[in-house]
């Protein structure tokens, strides 16, 4: 064997040894419960996931998360990702499968309070003691409805707008009722974020309905929250209101003149949750994936791929934005599953608001 090939072989062995040592060191750092879960997940071999391509980076994001998760836990779990429909539709399919006693088509459900709360009532999510696996990262308030839902990122609702075409920099929802915006803005056909305002302990029905009625004379179309390209290109100059502000940040990185305004008169702080169906095919891998998303690396990737992380962590990117608004005197309405379940009036009020918004369009 030549000297060059010998040196190359030695280098390869050294790198391999270092990688094995690093993996062993990470395994040693895991507590017994997490080690047991990682081993069980490894036996299952994969976890089935589905959400939109704009959530967590879609297919590309899943590949990044798979590599980082396996590196951290010393596993070889595949993330089997399939682009899917809206969160509510995936939840409905899970419910249908549960009632039909069929295996779940996904092992992890991802949704906000609006989508997760109705499913919790059906009782098909597993109650998981998340904190015992990762006590240093899972705070008690992250675990809702007896462990059936785990918070993993924060979403801030507001208005996504084209900062170059906007007639002025908006600060409140009332700004969009001014004549400068008339005929240039859009809303959603499902009354996004107005569902929180209409609750009895926020704006209430009378104030919210009055605003929505006035807004219908200002808008020139209805679009989905994911249609931010139509704001970036100037077809509309604002979406009143959006679901959360991730899209604005993603388009900013692409060089588009996009921004999100958190209304000083209607600030909302939502959460996205991860839940494991009782009829999941790979429940252990599902739990390991969910826990990974709360590690520092998981949170970093959540922000990298989706511009969202859990704002309460010291390293949170979104946390800086929240603290800045709080410093300006803004009070965020915290939208949790528990809060949503206490406000059954939202469902009927939302249906009425949808009729108001869609009547003209």
**How far is residue 58's CA from residue 68's CA, in Å, rounded to a whole number?**
16
Per-residue model confidence as pLDDT tens digits over 210-254: 999 999 999 999 998 888 899 999 999 999 999 888 888 889 989
What are the residue ranges in the chain where pLDDT is below 50?
1-25, 27-28
**How far is residue 155's CA from residue 77's CA, in Å, rounded to a whole number?**
28
- On the CB side of 238, CA atoms within 13 Å amount to 30
| 109, β-bridge pairs | 275
Burial of residue 233, with CB atoms counted within 10 A of its CB: 0-12 exposed, 13-18 middle, 19 or more buried: exposed
| 277, β-bridge pairs | 125
DSSP letter string, 97-150? HHHTT---S-S-EEEEHHHHHHHHTTT-B----HHHH-TTT--GGGEEGGGTEE
pTM of the predicted model, to two decimals? Answer: 0.87
| 259, β-bridge pairs | 161
| 154, β-bridge pairs | 271
Task: List all residues 6 or more positions away from 312 whose beta carbon is below 8 Å from its beta carbon.
Answer: 139, 154, 319
Q: Output the pLDDT for position 17.
A: 41
For residue 350, the tally of other CB atoms under 10 A from its CB is 18
Burial of residue 71, with CB atoms counted within 10 A of its CB: 0-12 exposed, 13-18 middle, 19 or more buried: middle
**Per-residue DSSP letter, 182:** T
DSSP letter string, 12-29? HHHHHHHHHHHHHHHHHH
**How far is residue 91's CA from residue 275's CA, in Å, rounded to a whole number?**
11
**How far is residue 132's CA from residue 120's CA, in Å, rounded to a whole number?**
22
| Largest CA-CA distance found in the chain, in angstroms, rounded | 85
Q: Where do the H-state alpha helices sit in the chain?
A: 3-29, 32-44, 58-73, 87-99, 113-120, 130-133, 194-197, 205-216, 229-232, 246-253, 283-292, 296-306, 317-327, 337-341, 345-360
Q: Output the pLDDT for position 11.
A: 43
Of 96, 98, 125, nearest in space to 109 by CA: 125
Q: Which two tokens stand for residue 298?
A: 């998981």
For residue 31, the tally of other CB atoms under 10 A from its CB is 13
Q: Report how far apart, in Å, the C-alpha atoms of 123 and of each of 119, 128, 133, 337, 342 are.
A: 7, 13, 23, 14, 17
For residue 103, the tally of other CB atoms under 10 A from its CB is 13
Domains located in the chain, CATH noted:
31-154+274-311 (3.40.190.10), 159-266+331-360 (3.40.190.10)
Backbone angles phi, psi at 163, to 5 degrees: -70, -20
Q: Output the pLDDT for position 147.
A: 98
Burial of residue 27, with CB atoms counted within 10 A of its CB: 0-12 exposed, 13-18 middle, 19 or more buried: middle
DSSP letter string, 159-171? EEEETTT-SS---
């Amino acid at each position: 064997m030549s000297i060059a090939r010998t040196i190359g072989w030695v280098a390869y062995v050294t790198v391999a040894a270092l990688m094995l040592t690093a993996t062993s060191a990470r395994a040693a750092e895991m507590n017994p419960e997490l080690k047991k879960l990682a081993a069980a997940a490894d036996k299952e071999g994969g976890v089935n996931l589905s959400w939109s391509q704009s959530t967590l980076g879609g297919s590309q994001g899943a590949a990044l998360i798979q590599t980082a998760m396996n590196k951290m836990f010393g596993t070889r779990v595949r993330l089997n990702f399939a682009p899917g429909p809206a969160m509510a539709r995936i939840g409905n399919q899970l419910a249908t499968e549960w009632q039909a006693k069929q295996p779940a088509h996904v092992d992890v459900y991802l949704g906000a309070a609006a989508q997760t709360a109705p499913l919790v009532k059906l009782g098909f999510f597993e109650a998981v003691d998340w904190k015992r696996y990762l006590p240093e990262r899972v705070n008690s308030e992250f675990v809702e409805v007896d462990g059936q839902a785990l918070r993993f990122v924060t979403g801030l609702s507001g208005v996504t707008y084209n900062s170059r075409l906007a007639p002025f920099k908006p600060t409140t929802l009332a700004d969009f009722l001014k004549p400068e915006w008339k005929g240039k803005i859009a809303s959603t056909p499902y009354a996004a974020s107005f569902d929180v305002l209409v609750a009895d302990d926020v704006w209430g029905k009378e104030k919210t309905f009055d605003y929505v009625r006035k807004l219908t004379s200002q808008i020139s179309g209805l679009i989905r929250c994911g249609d931010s390209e139509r704001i970036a290109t100037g077809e509309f100059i604002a979406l009143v209101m959006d679901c959360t502000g991730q899209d604005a940040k993603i388009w900013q990185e692409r060089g588009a003149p996009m921004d999100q305004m958190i209304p000083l008169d209607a600030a909302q702080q939502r959460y996205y949750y991860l839940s494991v169906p009782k009829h999941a095919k790979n429940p252990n891998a599902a739990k390991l994936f969910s826990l990974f998303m709360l590690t520092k690396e998981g949170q970093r990737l959540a922000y990298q791929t989706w511009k969202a992380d859990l704002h309460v962590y010291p390293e949170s990117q979104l946390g800086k934005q929240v603290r800045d608004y709080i410093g300006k005197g803004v009070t965020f309405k915290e939208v949790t599953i528990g809060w949503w379940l206490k406000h059954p009036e939202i469902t009927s009020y939302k249906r009425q608001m949808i009729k108001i918004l869609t009547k003209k369009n």
